[in-house]
A and B are shown apart, each in its own frame.
Chain A
Amino acid sequence: QVQLQESGPGLVKPSQTLSLTCTVSGGSISSGTYYWSWIRQPAGKGLEWIGRISASGNTKYNPSLKSRVTTSVDTSKNQFSLRLSSVTAADTAVYYCARESSGETVKLYYYYYYYMDVWGKGTTVTVSS
């Protein structure tokens, strides 16, 4: 089955750029109708959706972070990445990568659904000088 593993520095200085990579194993990042997403969780707080990217590079970001977020995909390495610029202490959190299942469905009317069905274990990133 598909597994995801986050990697990257655990400590980032204020105003610098946080960079994380998620490695996908047990399946191809290019197969199926999946997107690849990032979610974060400050200590003791709830989950915050950061954004998603498809294998072909289509992206969607949380407007609250959009100006600072960049995501990319490397299909040759079966990896996708997150960059968050100009970080502050408020960006200190556990960062999760996840696979988002997507497609068209109907409830009251037809729409495109997205939801996370496989998660990585998460990696803690602390922003501090």
Chain B
Amino acid sequence: SYELTQPPSVSVSPGQAARITCSGDALPKKYTYWYQQKSGQAPVLVIYDDSKRPSGIPERFSGSSSGTMATLTISGAQVEDEADYYCYSTDSSTKGVFGGGTKLTVL
């Protein structure tokens, strides 16, 4: 079955850039979506169509995709950006698939 692979954890100091990757065989053909989930809360969409930012999402959040890897970048990460981040896409049958999630620590 189709899988999206993320690193379990990423750690940066405040003000540094945080980069979270997501790899999947179909990503050259399909867009990637990124969700932020803070502790005890529902996920929030932060990037759609690889690199577009929904209204209300800070400009420091950006996305890119090249080949089989998509990347979420948080430029100048802040303490409030600490959260779990999930990439998402669909497989060839349109079944939804989440990556395993990446815990971002900012300290």
Contacts and interface: CB of A to CB of B under 8 A. Distances in A.
Interface of A: 37, 39, 46-49, 52, 60, 62-63, 96, 105, 107-109, 111-117, 119-122
A59 B99 CA distance: 23
Interface of B is mostly: loop
Interface of A is mostly: strand
Interface string B89-107: 0100111111111000000
Contacts of A46: 86, 98-101
Interface string B23-36: 00000111101010
B29 A49 contact: no
A47 B99 CA distance: 8
Nearest to A97: B42
A66 B99 CA distance: 20
B95 A60 contact: yes
B14 to A, nearest CB: 26
